[in-house]
């Protein structure tokens, strides 16, 4: 950190493989068949490593999965079951320290909202991609206009939030690292997966939410 400054007033948290130990769309794909699961997981990993643009595969991944209302509800339960150790306690500590915590994710908003409610994060502070469902609960597309379905869209979202400075972004993938120019620090989270290109470009490397609390409140 420059200028000897320490601590942060706002935290921008990724969800998949950071707040929760699963990749949501990959998890949904694994419920289809092994071939679909493997193909979608490979695309996700390439995008998170920055080897391909998320823009080019986001719609392709959802088209292969076509999540129903039941799938979205099952994913919400899976997210809750895969919550990072200490995450709930960390969010409580950050809120108690008057820090702003927002979720910025390329995952499905409807599956993430139960997680945010569990953590006491306001619905208005959850930024993710909405899925469209028919009245009978079948897949009917997604919000293709969302910047969060693109490789650099998280930066645009964070810039528009005008969060209290200093701001720390936390995540595991290239789409999280893309936020770096809009914040005061970026922490690569390696508690679930370690992506070396992301780690190499990070200001901080943490593998637990206890470390996150220490970094933010210091």
Q: Which active-site residues does the annotation give?
A: 14, 16
Which residues are CB-neighbours of 94 under 8 A, at least 6 positions away? 11, 101, 213, 216, 217
Which residues are CB-neighbours of 176 under 8 A, at least 6 positions away? 14, 18, 154, 169, 170, 186, 198
Q: How many CB atoms lie within 10 A of CB 148?
A: 21
3-state SS class at 128? strand
Identify which of 106, 40, 98, 83 has the alpha carbon closest to the alpha carbon of residue 216.
98
Phi, psi of 168 (to 5 degrees): -115, 130
3-state SS class at 168? strand
Pairing state of beta strands 100-108 and 10-13? parallel
Alpha-carbon span 172 to 187, nearest angstrom: 8
| Region for 24 from its dihedrals, namely left if φ exceeds 0, alpha if ψ lies in -120 to 50, beta otherwise | alpha
């Amino acid at each position: 950190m420059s200028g000897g400054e320490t601590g942060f007033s706002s935290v921008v948290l990724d969800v998949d493989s950071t707040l929760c130990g699963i990749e949501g769309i990959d998890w949904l794909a694994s419920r289809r068949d092994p071939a679909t699961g493997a193909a979608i997981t490979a695309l996700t990993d390439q995008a998170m490593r920055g080897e391909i643009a998320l823009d080019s595969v986001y719609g392709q991944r959802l088209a292969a999965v076509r999540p129903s209302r039941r799938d979205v509800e099952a994913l919400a339960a899976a997210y809750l079951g895969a919550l990072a150790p200490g995450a709930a306690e960390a969010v409580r500590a950050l809120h108690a320290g008057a820090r702003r915590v927002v979720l910025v994710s390329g995952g499905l908003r409807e599956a993430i909202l139960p997680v945010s409610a569990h953590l006491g994060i306001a619905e208005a502070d959850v930024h993710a991609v909405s899925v469209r469902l028919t009245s009978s609960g079948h897949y009917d597309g997604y919000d293709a206009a969302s910047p969060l379905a693109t490789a650099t869209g998280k930066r645009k979202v964070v810039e528009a939030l005008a969060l209290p400075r200093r701001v720390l972004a936390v995540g595991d993938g290239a789409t999280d690292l893309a936020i770096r120019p809009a914040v005061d620090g970026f922490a690569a989270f390696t508690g679930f997966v370690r992506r070396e290109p992301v780690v190499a470009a990070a200001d901080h490397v943490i593998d637990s939410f206890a470390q996150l609390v220490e970094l933010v409140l210091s």
